[in-house]
């Protein structure tokens, strides 16, 4: 991969700072904790780390509510710690991507503190303000993802302000040119400090419909949430007007022009719209917008060979110019080995499922985001109500328990207090089941999920077809997923058995197949015109 395109086909390891490693005993992970674990991360064979927000924040949404875009929250350390993180990561050939939360701030941000005071101050129009209806009700029917009305009354201005997320996360008015300039200036602050790219949180939420038109109702049959609970009334609307506005295109082109001044830097946009795949294609088109986009399409409960094929093929048809990035887990959804339950049998073989799911993810066309702990095969943690920290889960308990179950601390050593994460009291409990798959227990087992993950990523780098080749799916019955990856003259067949039972399929086409070894997973066997796949097994073969 060239310097400028290092991100194309890269494996990006998502670090959730609160839960990776605590260096000072306060129970919360921090930047020095990340630095302590960089050797481990580098040993995985990943290309970059994505560090979730560490900026100054009241932590109502655990850092996604920023009160100062240019400073590190004391919980996580200092700007000097961040500079050291960049330096140490680069020594290990790891790129560093950080979150940028552009669409909204914390209500504790100095901009909002000024804006809320009156209708005539210099920041008066920096946020989305609107008058009440004649009966005092909210300006329209827009809803917050975190439940209820998306408008909050502010008595000082006698107006409502928009919040697509928590009430403490007011939305910026990107129709205002000074807001766009300030946002870009904040991005450049971190580029100057040496970051290699940005994961752009909720990037399609920057602009709103200036006419404040009501969102239309969505039929019951279509109320399927992407990244949010389906009992959430947010799913009851088509969100045509509170996000994904046409003006956003011009802004992301402005953003791209900024990044072009810093060769090798990249952008990864998180996109959740009514047609996320179409928006991904639109936002990455033309070579002058986002470098990469990813959506929630593989972060849902949907799991089958046909669903995965349909999702990837749908994107391929639309994204003719851009580059996708795939994720099957992150800090917002249930961990994949728990979420993608085995629909083909009652077996819960989490280690082999974890191995196969990571191989699947890293074999699709595009770049990859792998969430911390996926390399260990961590399962979702079932927490009691009094253990919850996430306001989302607290609001929707008990039908939806929020995001804490995927955010619990990393288990480093089974015999140490708090599994080696902290010497203090952890902000979320360390799960006892996670101690059983702690890093120290997996290190010495060549067949562990951890070492299989390492082996596969090392093996993957040998094949340009897997890193940046095209993809073509084959017709197979459930539960088998099969596709070709091809780059120039190199063509590989990938066949995956998504179930806990043996599967036998016919060999495709007229190509001579030669099975490839060394990837570390349970491998299928080619016998005549048949491929025999063990439970959660796969076959990688060269085609000639």
Tens-digit pLDDT profile for residues 107-127: 999 999 999 999 999 999 999
Q: What pLDDT shows up at residue 221? A: 86
- Are 396 and 511 part of one and the same domain? no
Read off the pLDDT of residues 326-357 as tens digits, 9 standing for 90 and up: 999 999 999 999 999 755 444 578 999 999 99
110 domain residue, yes or no: no
Q: What pLDDT shows up at residue 230? A: 62
What CATH number is given to the structural domain containing 500?
2.60.40.1180
Per-residue confidence band for 361, with pLDDT thresholds at 50, 70 and 90 = very high
156 domain residue, yes or no: no
H or E element that contains 160: strand 159-162
- Are 498 and 354 part of one and the same domain? no
- Are 516 and 411 part of one and the same domain? no
- Are 452 and 475 part of one and the same domain? no
**How many residues are there in the chain?**
544
Q: Minimal CA–CA distance to 322: which of 357, 290, 363?
A: 290
166 domain residue, yes or no: no
Among candidate residues 400, 432, 459, the one where a domain is terminated: 459
Per-residue confidence band for 511, with pLDDT thresholds at 50, 70 and 90 = confident
Within 10 angstroms of residue 161's Cβ, the number of other Cβ atoms is 22
- Are 453 and 474 part of one and the same domain? no
H or E element that contains 31: helix 31-36
- Residues 6 or more apart whose Cβ sits within 8 Å of residue 260: none
35 domain residue, yes or no: yes
| End-to-end CA, the chain | 25
Instruction: Determine contact, residues 352/536, Cβ cutoff 8 Å.
Output: yes
Helical residues (DSSP H) of 177-323, grouped into ranges: 177-192, 247-259, 276-283, 305-318
What CATH number is given to the structural domain containing 95?
3.20.20.80
| Distance (Å, whole) CA 249 – CA 287 | 13
Among candidate residues 440, 459, 478, the one where a domain is terminated: 459
- Are 422 and 505 part of one and the same domain? no
- Are 390 and 309 part of one and the same domain? yes
Q: What domain range includes position 508?
A: 470-543
Pairing state between β 538-543 and 513-515 = antiparallel
137 domain residue, yes or no: no
- Are 394 and 491 part of one and the same domain? no
Pairing state between β 480-487 and 513-515 = unpaired
Q: What pLDDT shows up at residue 4? A: 67
Q: What percent of the chain has pLDDT over 70?
A: 97
Q: How far is CA 23 from the centre of its chain?
A: 25
56 domain residue, yes or no: yes
| Distance (Å, whole) CA 92 – CA 2 | 18
Number of domains in the chain: 2
143 domain residue, yes or no: no
- Are 390 and 526 part of one and the same domain? no
Q: What pLDDT shows up at residue 121? A: 97
| Distance (Å, whole) CA 332 – CA 383 | 15
Among candidate residues 439, 459, 479, the one where a domain is terminated: 459
- Residues 6 or more apart whose Cβ sits within 8 Å of residue 283: 203, 204, 248, 249, 252, 269, 271, 289, 290, 293, 322
- Are 444 and 494 part of one and the same domain? no
Q: How far is CA 134 from the centre of its chain?
A: 42
Instruction: Determine contact, residues 466/67, Cβ cutoff 8 Å.
Output: no
Instruction: Determine contact, residues 187/180, Cβ cutoff 8 Å.
Output: no
142 domain residue, yes or no: no
The pTM score is 0.96
SS3 172: strand
**Catalytic residue IDs:** 201, 270
- Are 380 and 485 part of one and the same domain? no
Helices (H) and strands (E) in the chain, counts: 16, 21
Per-residue confidence band for 67, with pLDDT thresholds at 50, 70 and 90 = very high
- Are 450 and 509 part of one and the same domain? no
């Amino acid at each position: 991969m060239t310097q400028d395109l290092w991100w194309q086909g890269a494996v990006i390891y998502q670090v959730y700072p609160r839960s990776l490693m605590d260096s000072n005993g306060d129970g919360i992970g921090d930047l020095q904790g990340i630095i302590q674990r960089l050797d481990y991360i580098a040993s995985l064979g990943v290309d970059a780390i994505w560090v979730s927000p560490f900026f100054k924040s009241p932590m109502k949404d655990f850092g996604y509510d920023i009160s100062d875009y240019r400073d590190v929250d004391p919980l996580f350390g200092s700007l000097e710690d961040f500079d050291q993180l960049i330096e140490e990561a680069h020594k290990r050939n790891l790129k560093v991507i950080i979150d940028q939360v552009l669409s909204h701030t914390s209500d504790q941000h100095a901009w909002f503190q000024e804006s809320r005071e009156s209708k005539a101050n210099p920041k008066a129009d920096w946020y989305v303000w609107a008058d009440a209806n004649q009966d005092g009700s909210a300006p329209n029917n827009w809803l917050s993802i975190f439940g209820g009305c998306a408008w909050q009354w502010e008595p000082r201005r006698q107006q409502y302000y928009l919040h697509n997320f928590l009430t403490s996360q007011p939305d910026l008015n990107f129709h205002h040119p000074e807001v766009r300039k300030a946002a870009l200036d904040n991005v450049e602050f971190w580029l100057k400090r040496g970051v290699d790219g940005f994961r752009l949180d909720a990037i399609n939420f920057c602009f709103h419909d200036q006419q404040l038109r009501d969102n239309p109702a969505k039929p019951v049959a279509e109320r399927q949430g992407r990244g949010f609970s389906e009992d959430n009334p947010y799913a009851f609307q088509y969100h045509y007007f509170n996000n994904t506005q046409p003006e956003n295109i011009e802004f992301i082109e402005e953003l791209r022009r900024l990044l072009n001044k810093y060769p090798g830097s990249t952008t990864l946009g998180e996109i959740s719209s009514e047609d996320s795949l179409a928006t991904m294609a639109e936002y990455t088109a033309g070579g002058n917008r986002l470098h990469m986009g990813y959506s929630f399409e593989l972060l849902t409960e949907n799991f089958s060979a046909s669903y995965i094929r349909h999702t990837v093929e749908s994107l391929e048809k639309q994204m003719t110019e851009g580059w996708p990035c795939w994720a099957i887990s992150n800090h917002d959804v249930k961990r994949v080995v728990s979420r993608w339950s085995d629909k083909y049998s009652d077996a819960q073989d989490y280690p082999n499922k974890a191995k196969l799911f990571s191989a699947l993810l890293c074999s699709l066309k595009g770049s990859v985001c792998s969430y911390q702990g996926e390399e260990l095969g961590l399962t979702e943690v079932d927490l009691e109500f009094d253990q919850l920290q996430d306001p989302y889960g607290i609001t929707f308990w008990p039908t939806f328990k929020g995001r804490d179950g995927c955010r619990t601390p990393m288990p480093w050593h089974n015999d140490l207090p708090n599994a080696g994460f902290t010497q203090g009291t952890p902000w979320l409990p360390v799960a006892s089941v996670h101690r059983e798959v702690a890093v120290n227990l997996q290190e010495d087992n060549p067949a562990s999920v951890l070492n299989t993950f390492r082996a596969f990523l090392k093996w993957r780098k040998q094949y340009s077809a897997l890193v940046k080749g095209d993809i073509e799916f084959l017709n197979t019955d459930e539960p088998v997923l099969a596709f070709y990856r091809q780059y120039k003259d190199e063509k590989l067949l990938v066949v995956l058995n998504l179930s806990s039972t043996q599967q036998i399929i016919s060999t495709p086409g007229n190509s001579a197949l030669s099975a490839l070894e060394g990837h570390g997973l349970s491998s299928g066997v080619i016998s005549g015109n048949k491929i025999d796949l063990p439970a959660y097994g796969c076959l990688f073969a060269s085609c000639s």
